[in-house]
Amino acid sequence: MTSVIPRRMISGRFDSLQLPFDVLALVITFHADVCSLLGMMQTCRDLYQVGIRHLATKANDLVFFTTPEQIASFCLFMHGNVEYRSSFLRRLSIEFNIYKDWSKSSEDFKLFATILRHATRLECLGFWNLEDFLIDVPEMVTAIASLTSITSMDIESQDTYTSDNAYRMVQKMQSPVTNLTLGEISSENYSPLPFIEAFQNSLRELSIHDASDICMELWSSNIVVPRLDLLVLHGLWPHNADIESLILAFPNISRLYAYTLTDDETDEDRAFQRSANLDAQKSVSWPSLEILCGDVTTLWTLGLTCRVRCLKFWESVYCEDLPLFKDIIQCCKPNWLYVILKGREEDSPEGPNRPVLTLPPVDRIQGMIAHDLLQLDLRIYLNGNFTVKSFNLLLDQIRDLGSLTSLRILGLSIYVHCAGSELIAFH
């Protein structure tokens, strides 16, 4: 047998294998963890160049900083070739931990501002506790304002003073932000309106984590966000849940998520607000909603009368919630219903140490479900003691759901948790 030995091996020299840049970039993606990636980058110059791009881009992960040391290390790395490396940044988030000493980081922040000016493809930007940063480094405001590529922003703060600097920053921004998340902001003078107003012509998704007074603030303003499709409101106080102000400010939404984090209102307060909302929708209303999601109390108080394709209850529905549940179903007439049902533990005649489980109200909701319901996703939680007889009764009630003539899809999950055992799920 005759073998042919490459001439480059006979000469004692083995030339490096040349692969296209795109192929090397694909090879790099198989090494998701940073340590493996750094090891590959140290093997040759070509992999080093490809690795830089992957490190900066980080696929779908945020480039995230929480300490001054991380900021300094990042700035040192990026300034090795700031224009080239900054151009690969896509998602960037900085958390200014209020318990860390940032006093010696002003020069790093100025370098960071330079990096941002060259991050012309940056899409997502997040800040936590950014007030000190904006005060000490005005170059940062200029850098962020000059970018035109940012489509998503996430702002959160534990600072207790005003957010004037943050307001001025967003008002100067040229980027058409479409997705805005306003997290928990502790300032007593905080208002989400300046942030919304800055992007009112481009916003498509808006999430507010402190929406306690949003309806009152919208009512006293003339803000209209015509392109908004998704609205998420956390911490909405039922007695301030004015549906008319939401409809006028966000006339074209198709998805609404509304949650109450605290519930100190009386039944009279909620009933009064619901009545006002029902009256208001006689003159102004959304045509329909694709998704409506929230807890029973909030959804009942909002009193939406428009048609809803998918209705989701994000908290459990108990027997005492059924009157509110029925009102919501009758107003929305959903085609798709997602609901969580739970039973309650009650003392048995044998004593408080032998609690019995009141079954989830499956049989009672059947008569409340709209006649044109097409899909029902039912999640049932059983906690505590229950007998085989009661469990069989529950199965019979579930089986009776088949009598709903319009129903095409039934999704069912049963979660059973007994004392001293793991959670068991049936699907």
All structural domains of the chain with their residue ranges: 19-58, 62-210, 335-427
pLDDT in tens, 385-404: 667 777 788 888 888 887 78
Tens digit of each residue's pLDDT (9 = 90 or more) over 7-22 = 544 455 545 556 666 6
* C-alpha distance across the termini of the chain, in Å: 64
By CB atoms closer than 10 A (0-12, 13-18, 19+), residue 368 is middle
Beta bridge partners of residue 156, listed in sequence order:
128
Predicted local distance difference test score (pLDDT) of residue 260? 81
Question: pLDDT tens for residues 150-200?
Answer: 999 998 875 544 467 778 888 899 999 999 999 876 566 678 898 999 999
pTM for the model: 0.83
For the domain spanning 62-210, the CATH number is: 3.80.10.10
Kindly report which listed range (27-41, 249-263, 347-361) carries the lowest average pLDDT score: 347-361
Residue 356 pLDDT more than 80? no
- Under the banding of pLDDT at 50, 70 and 90, the label for residue 337 is very high
- Reported as a pLDDT band with limits 50, 70 and 90, residue 407 is confident
| Residues 113-163 pLDDT 10s | 888 899 999 999 888 776 656 666 778 888 889 999 999 999 887 554 446
Residue 67 clears pLDDT 80, i.e. is over it: no
Report the range of poorest mean pLDDT among 147-156, 292-301, 338-347, 368-377: 338-347
Mean pLDDT: which of 227-231, 318-322, 350-354, 396-400 is highest?
A: 227-231
What distance in Å separates the CA atoms of residue 148 and residue 282, rounded to the nearest whole number?
42
| Other beta carbons less than 10 A from residue 84's beta carbon | 14
Query: Judging by beta carbons within 10 Å of its beta carbon (0-12, 13-18, 19+), is residue 127 exposed, middle or buried?
Result: buried
- The pLDDT value given to residue 157: 72
